[in-house]
Structure 1
Amino acid sequence: MTDITIFHNPKCGTSRNVLALIRHAGFEPRVVEYLKTPPTRDEIRALAAAAGEPLRALLREKEAVFAELGLADPGVGDDALLDAIEQHPILLNRPLVVTPLGTALCRPSEAVLELLPVGPLPPFTKSDGEVVHDSGRRRS
């Protein structure tokens, strides 16, 4: 059985599409609704490292609280970013997906295909009607 985890917000269309793509591939992931059960500071730091991204890359800049807290300032360090995410989990961008092939922020939703240890998959239709065709390219 393949261990797949998605940090998910059910109100987010991209997150719902990623979850549906994972299930389309035949997997039932561990779903972490991170607004109800936020990851710890160490987990967030580890997710960023596993994704090969700076912590700042995991922030959701469109949220009003991002601007309110002045998080666009490049001088705001990782500890302050972690404080902000801890106080406002909505700042964590989604969906983050962890599989045996790697960890990534899956935006756009078809980015999850590179992380799925099967393929290529048959075409998948996203909630907006867009059809996703799987090239079969996977991380190694």
Structure 2
Amino acid sequence: MSKQNQLTIIQYPKCGTCRSALKSLQSKGNDVHSRHIIEQTPTAGELKELVAKSGLELKKFFNTSGEVYKELGLKDKLGAMSEDEKYALLASSGMLIKRPIVTDGKTVTVGYKEEQYEQVWNNGKG
């Protein structure tokens, strides 16, 4: 019998997708620590670690459908920014970060897809 995963979900509690993700993780018996993405926004250093562990490109961590992203016109500006500028920007506002981010300290997922969660976090337990 595999032991429960100890996970941290960095999320926005009012976000429906985040609530679904949290519910999915908890329903499979995972021990989930919830972290409010606005009140405890990841630092640039934390974000660098999360991006590295996720295996994804940095741009995948931007909440491209969010209001702040659109207000700042980032679609046209990101290309000209340095990596450090992008990390600083993400760390400046939790609303710019795609959510939820889930990690066990080794693996990181961004966003919520049930199939991905089944594979990565829920070990096909049903």
Output the TM-score relative to the length of structure 2. Answer: 0.83
Q: List 4+ stretches of structure 1 deviating above 3 A.
A: none
Mapped to 2, the partners of 1:46 and 1:68 lie a distance apart of 27
Partner of 2:37: 34
Looking at secondary structure, tell me which structure has more helix per residue: 2
Mapped to 2, the partners of 1:113 and 1:101 lie a distance apart of 17
Mapped to 1, the partners of 2:122 and 2:105 lie a distance apart of 8
> Counterparts of 1:1-140 in structure 2 under 5 Å?
2-73=5-76, 74-99=79-104, 102-116=107-121, 118-121=123-126
RMSD over aligned Cα atoms: 1.9
Mapped to 1, the partners of 2:106 and 2:59 lie a distance apart of 23
C-alpha offsets along residues 20-58 of structure 1, whole Å, 9 cap, x if unaligned? 011110122111111111111111111111111121110
What's the secondary structure of 2:35's corresponding residue? strand
The gaps in structure 2 that reach 5 residues or longer are none
Offset, 1:95: 0.6
Mapped to 2, the partners of 1:59 and 1:101 lie a distance apart of 21
The gaps in structure 1 that reach 5 residues or longer are 122-140
Mapped to 2, the partners of 1:114 and 1:100 lie a distance apart of 17
Identity %: 25
Offset, 1:8: 1.2
Offset, 1:88: 1.6
Q: Give the direction of change, closer, same or farther, for the CA distance of 1:101–1:117 in structure 2 (3 Å limit).
A: farther
